A and B are shown apart, each in its own frame.
Chain A
Amino acid sequence: MLTVENLTVEFPGRFGVFTAIEDVSLTIAPGEIHGLVGESGAGKSTIGAAIIGLLQVPGRVANGTMTLGETDLRSLGPVEAHRLRGERISMIFQDPQTSLNPLMTIEDQLIETIQAHEDISTSDARARAIALLEEIGITDATSRIKAYPHQFSGGMRQRVVIALALCTNPELIIADEPTTALDVAVQSQVLDLIQRLANTRGIGFLLITHDIGVIAQITDNVTVLRNGKVMETGPTDKVLRRPEHPYTSALMAAVPPLDRKLDRFLVPDDDTPDLAAPTGRSAADAEAWLSSGTQALGEGLLVENVTVRFSGNRTSLFRKPPAFTALDDVSMSVRPGTVMGLVGESGSGKSTMAKVITGLVQPSAGRLCLGGTDLPLARERGRKDPSRRLIQMVFQDPYSSLNSRHRIGDILAEPLWLYGLEADADKRRDIAAAMLDLVGLSADAIDRFPHQFSGGQRQRIAVARSLLARPRVLICDEPTSALDVSIQAQILNLLKDLQARFGLTILFISHNLAVVRQMCDDVTVLKGGKVVETGASEAFFTQPDAPYSRELLQLTPGFTSGAAA
């Protein structure tokens, strides 16, 4: 149905022409779900945009043919292309929060779309819209259709987006990361829906994603992209299990398996050239420095009966708004020198827990205990409290966790200066350089700015910064979820190495169960601010106690490669 041959897309820019897509060919049959997988910057979304004719300016299709049925997509004028979009090709975007107009009811948006493509009366259009909503699994569609987007949950909203895409009976739907913003339970429902639509309506799907698990679960064929070039293409099962291209097999090896724990990941070759040769400061110096001043933690981190309430939105001038309970009587204990995984869906209170421990959020009840002594809660914790140094945090988004206006050297020297660990500025610089070597970056990074580094490199810098405080406890809040899988594997390896070498106590927060399995000794599951289950990691993954844990494990799209064993 859709045939793309030798597609080349270029972006002319200030520093010459950048070829985003080079010589890409793929075909999609009716009813086929074709996965397009690759790391960020591989050109996945660009291919989708080129097919639907919505390339960002100044991008242009430089070469190749794209045909949908009998229609040559490249020869269409703007008017014909506009008609074709929606009528024959539809698109589903990543974020259901922003792809619906918040000021229009679902009904208006659906009817508007239907009437834009067909001369049909409003009441007929409404009937069609309701039928559509029922088809995609929205119960009580006749009354729900009057609702505004904010009255739907994220998963429901993504269903409405899919209904919008279906309005005009398209032959092809391009789904750009349709489930990335969703929790696993909702993700699996949306994926089921896509599968069903492909089967019953014979719609071809181009499913763009970075998640190998999703690819493994529903696609028929898959194309692996890297730097705008096709690495490998073929039936999903074959490509994922018996990859022919070395890049594909390296990529598969980097995917954390859900069903067993690996000691280390095999990391795909990094094609970014090494930064210049390291200077005299080596990882050994940093290691010596780290171990010279650290004292072992007698006992771990104890969280006892912590409850956090946030005041809700004020709806009346005179009444106090009802409080929202983010954490409800949560207790857990992180043993010294081990990694505790904290898992749960979005809104389960994982990050609030991190904020309570780091002293950013004041719990309304509960007690914290670090190394056998009481840890003051947020308001009582002074700026000079020793725990400020002992507890360090690694954030999710490496793009915002480093101050973009400071040089790496200044960022790294800050904890040394702040905690009075090293009085001499030159020595601070030396230690920072050595620490960069320890986390696998060249020491000449020290004079650069954060924007000169990739996400993975920045995360290494963030880890280096937290280590320079000589911490005993590291809070990692989704440290790899903003990263590509191969980079994720590198960062996880780094964290594992550091943890083993320095006996760090780590609270590892993640929604990704497979990653948690690789990293953690113990696991605590949160749901709606309550602890569902807590215990040893291996026991949790093999025999979860709580029904909720079993459900979580079941719904996580699993993929096990044969190559990593």
Chain B
Amino acid sequence: MFARLVRSEPAYLFFRSPAAMLAAVVAILVIGGAICAPWLARTDPYDLSTFSLMDGLLPPVWQGGDPRFLLGTDDQGRDMVSAILYGARLSLMIGLMAMVIATVLGVGLGLAAGYFGGVFDAIVMRVADVQLALPAILTALLIDGVSRGLLPPEMQQDLRVAVLTLAIALSLWVNFARTARASVFVERNKDYVQAAMIMGQHPLRVMVRHILPNIMGPLLVIMTVDLASAILLEATLSFLGIGLPADSPSLGTLIRIGMQFLLSGEWWILWVPTLFLVALVVSINVLGDFLRDVFNPRLR
């Protein structure tokens, strides 16, 4: 299995693309760090009792800081390394969840729209158009506002992550739906689909078992690129204060907090999470671009 993977076409192209390899290394480091945050981080940034104000605003080690805090601390005395690892964990989790929801929703609707066509297709696509006309932030604000109005206050805090995820997913599904629909239009006239239809197979079976595996290429590309968008969107929303509160900081929240210190000389509080976010998003995007090239033989 592994040997086959190494000999496969994508692997061959991968090992000849320095950019893709570098991006993969960065992405693995960042994602690995986020996953292993509980073991890597020396403090829990969500537990206010573990840090002391005495350690506040320490610069990174190479600027004469405390060796306990590699990248310094913020004003609360929170270890930046721990904060970033936990923040990235949260950002990635929200991004992944949103991406998965958007994929399921978008691909499902796109498949059905492309397969059945007609009125159903028209309805789905007009909804998609409307969705595209609303910026993601507006969607998020809407859902946020509605959930604030509908849910009891004690639940709101717990559901912040869910609301954020849903808002991001809703602004990303259109991409999937459009791509899936366009690919289905191409595939459904191919003979293997016609053969399945002639045999009288159930439409659901034709869509899921026959068409879906054949349109996965472009969808995989969108999944990667949209994962990066989802992470960025989460960061934006949190930065604007619609997202996660300061006591459970994601990367965006960390950047928002860091903003206050930009002019007072404590640059690391802003720059460290920002660079981390940029590295994560850029590496995922480079990988997405690489996948696009792999799945589009015309570009080779």
Contact = CB atoms under 8 A, between A and B. Distances in A.
Interface of A: 14, 358-360, 382-385, 388-389, 391-393, 395-397, 400-406, 414-415, 418, 465, 469
Contact of A14 (B12, B197, B201): B12
Contacts of A395: 191, 194-195
A395 B120 CA distance: 30
B81 to A, nearest CB: 43
B201 A383 contact: yes
B198 A405 contact: no
Given A383-B202, A405-B213, A360 B197 contact: yes
Contacts of B200: 382-385, 388, 418
Contact of A400 (B12, B192, B199, B202): B192
Given A400-B191, A401-B192, A414 B213 contact: no
Contacts of B190: 400-401
Query: Chain A's interface: helix, strand, loop or mixed, by majority?
Result: loop
Contacts of A358: 198
Interface of B: 12, 190-192, 194-202, 210, 213-214
A67 B50 CA distance: 84
B202 A403 contact: no
Contacts of B199: 388-389, 392, 414-415, 418, 469
A343 to B, nearest CB: 21
Nearest to B205: A418
A388 B198 contact: yes
23 contacts: A14-B12, A358-B198, A359-B198, A360-B194, A382-B200, A384-B200, A385-B200, A388-B199, A388-B200, A392-B198, A392-B199, A393-B195, A395-B191, A395-B194, A395-B195, A401-B190, A401-B191, A401-B195, A403-B192, A403-B214, A414-B199, A414-B201, A418-B199
B191 A405 contact: no
The main secondary structure of chain B at its interface with chain A is helix
A376 to B, nearest CB: 12
**Which 8 residue pairs spanning A and B have beta carbons closest together?**
A401-B191, A388-B200, A405-B213, A395-B191, A383-B200, A400-B190, A403-B192, A358-B198
B201 A418 contact: yes
B190 to A, nearest CB: 4
A415 B201 CA distance: 9
A395 B202 CA distance: 21
Contacts of B198: 358-360, 388, 391-393
Contact of A402 (B192, B202, B213): B192
A397 B191 contact: yes
B37 to A, nearest CB: 37
Contacts of A414: 199, 201
B200 to A, nearest CB: 4
A406 B211 CA distance: 11
A507 B202 CA distance: 26
A504 B93 CA distance: 59
A471 to B, nearest CB: 10
A393 B200 CA distance: 12
A360 B201 CA distance: 13
A411 to B, nearest CB: 9
Nearest to B195: A401
A450 B198 CA distance: 20
Contacts of B210: 403
Contacts of A406: 213
A401 B210 CA distance: 11
Contacts of A393: 194-195, 198
